Structure 1
Amino acid sequence: MTETLKNKYQVCEEIGRGRFGTISRVFCPITEASFACKSVDKRLLTDPIDRECLENEAKIMTLLAPNSNIVQIHDMFESEDTLQLILELCQPYTLYEQILQPDLSESKAASYMQQIMSGELGSVDGVVGTPYYVAPEVVMGRAYNEKVDVWSAGVVLYVMLAGVTPFYGETAEEIFEAVLRGNLRFPTRIFRSVSAEAKDLLRKMICRDVSKRWSAEQVLRHPWILNGGETTSMD
């Protein structure tokens, strides 16, 4: 932790740990409020793409604020070796912990997806900010619109139904390459019990062609969502 941060906040317990750093609860005596401090060790970021993602994270969060569905950024501290973001302290469980429950039913997945697309579930920033969930147009550095969120939500839905991400790799660069290829697959051994309706929605959300990718409004009107994950005829 930088000395400047310690002068303003009291560092409390660690509440999370990732590949490049930690998340701790911090307390501000002036406002008597608790926050989450995301501390990243920049020396561990050997991949240029990881460094770029880190540099963009604070900028993107600042641009999106204030938004009740996005984790709010309150402060930032940076030194030569570390970056600390002071963030809104959210509920002590992540979306990942909810969606990776064993045997998650389609009805529960549909309920979560309806809440995500309506903005009712709260922030999904903790997952969609990672390479696995980034839309291809963002990776390519092109102009993008709100449909990037539909792509990310589609990947979340895929994880809910399959327990794995649709695009993967050993490094961020390999993951981005897989995202750019956009080769969406439904392995039989994983999707054997997943309905045709759910897979139809996934194809419409995780669509590389932005002009053909559905909007959030269209997703909410899909039969699978409207029927609460119950299967109907796709004829």
Structure 2
Amino acid sequence: MTEALTRDYRICEEIGRGRFGVVRRCEPLDPSAAPSSLAVKSIDKSAVSGDDLDSHCLLTEPKVLSLLSPHPNLLRFHSAYEDSSHLHLVLDLCDSPDLHRAVASTGSLPELDAARILAQLMSAVAHCHRHGVIHRDIKPDNILFDSRGRLRLADFGSAEVIGGDQAAAAALRGLVGTPYYVAPEVVAGKEYGDKVDVWSAGVVLYVMLAGFPPFTGESAAEIFGAVLRANLRFPPRVFRTVSPAAKDLLKKMLCRDASRRLSADQVLSHPWVTSYGGAEATDPVLTQDFHRV
């Protein structure tokens, strides 16, 4: 730990571990500071290989978090510290289970919960896009909940800053993301823009309602093939109780043609979201207490 970090914060127990480092709870040593508990994400520089993607991830996250703060549905960035071996990011504390664990504990979610989660997720995504940021790795593991049950979108290590209000018009290349959640234009090696995040959020919505992803396979190659075909199905045994409005939104978010796919703002204006998920961004998103599982 850097001297500056331990001068400002008391480092407490480990609460998570990932590919590049560890997350611990920490407490400001200044008694007047709020909140009283935060998290410090310590990235091990030696675990980051020399390839461009890993180096990009190391450098991008603090830059993007600093650019985007504050927003009630984004994980807030407080400060960064660096020493010879680690980069330490002080962030909001979200010690409730992420959406992946929440869905795994219940199998699927009621439409009301799914809509409220989607409304806050898309509020965060729209905020990113207005600031020219594409997340590029939206998935349940990166959707956290704070102590109030409010959604926080996290992990901007794969994000790309492409500038101002021209985000939708700008284009990127490169296979970035998680197989089940990556958009077909990314898999195909085409240029892509911010609507890849809408596709990924559509997969998240499908998973919340069904308990499994819409495009599957036994290997990454098979999953990518299913994503490219984008043959969206609604198995009756699972979707018989799901409303037509929810299915309509899924079709418009999981549209293979990105030019016809909804934008983040258009998702927020869809009748299913406005009728079911019309919560304020600061409200808890869940009607049941599984975020504490």
CA spacing shift, 1:64–1:138, aligned 2, 3 Å: farther
Note the alpha carbon deviations across 1:90-117, whole angstroms, 9 max, x for none: 3533233333332314523234323433
**Is 1:109 equivalent to 2:138 in the alignment?**
no
1:2 corresponds to: 2
Is the Cα–Cα contact under 8 Å of residues 214 and 233 in structure 2 kept in the other structure?
no
Q: CA shift at 1:34, angstroms?
A: 2.4
2:284 corresponds to: none
Q: CA shift at 1:167, angstroms?
A: 7.2
**Is 1:156 equivalent to 2:204 in the alignment?**
yes
1:11 corresponds to: 11
1:123 corresponds to: 152
SS of match in other structure, 2:152: coil
**Is 1:184 equivalent to 2:230 in the alignment?**
yes
SS of match in other structure, 2:11: strand
Which structure 2 residues correspond to residues 8-87 of structure 1 after superposition, within 5 A? 8-30=8-30, 31-32=32-33, 33-46=36-49, 48=51, 49-87=53-91
Note the alpha carbon deviations across 1:10-51, whole angstroms, 9 max, x for none: 101111122322110111212443221011223223373233
Is the Cα–Cα contact under 8 Å of residues 13 and 25 in structure 1 kept in the other structure?
yes
* 2:4 alignment partner AA: T
1:193 corresponds to: 238
- 2:259 corresponds to which of 211, 214, 217: 211
CA spacing shift, 1:101–1:222, aligned 2, 3 Å: farther
Is the Cα–Cα contact under 8 Å of residues 73 and 120 in structure 2 kept in the other structure?
no
Is the Cα–Cα contact under 8 Å of residues 60 and 156 in structure 2 kept in the other structure?
no
For structure 1, the 5+ residue unaligned runs are: 230-235
SS of match in other structure, 2:26: strand
For 2:265 and 2:15, locate their aligned partners in 1 and report how far apart those are by CA, in whole Å: 35
Q: CA shift at 1:126, angstroms?
A: 4.6
Percent of aligned pairs sharing the same letter: 42
Is the Cα–Cα contact under 8 Å of residues 35 and 88 in structure 1 kept in the other structure?
yes
CA spacing shift, 1:112–1:74, aligned 2, 3 Å: closer
- TM-score with structure 2 length normalisation? 0.59
- TM-score with structure 1 length normalisation? 0.70
* 2:15 alignment partner AA: I
Larger mean CA deviation between 152-161 and 65-74 belongs to 152-161
Is the Cα–Cα contact under 8 Å of residues 10 and 28 in structure 1 kept in the other structure?
yes
Higher relative contact order (Cα pairs below 8 Å, separated by 6+ residues): 2
For 1:59 and 1:191, locate their aligned partners in 2 and report how far apart those are by CA, in whole Å: 45
Q: CA shift at 1:2, angstroms?
A: 2.8
CA spacing shift, 1:220–1:21, aligned 2, 3 Å: same
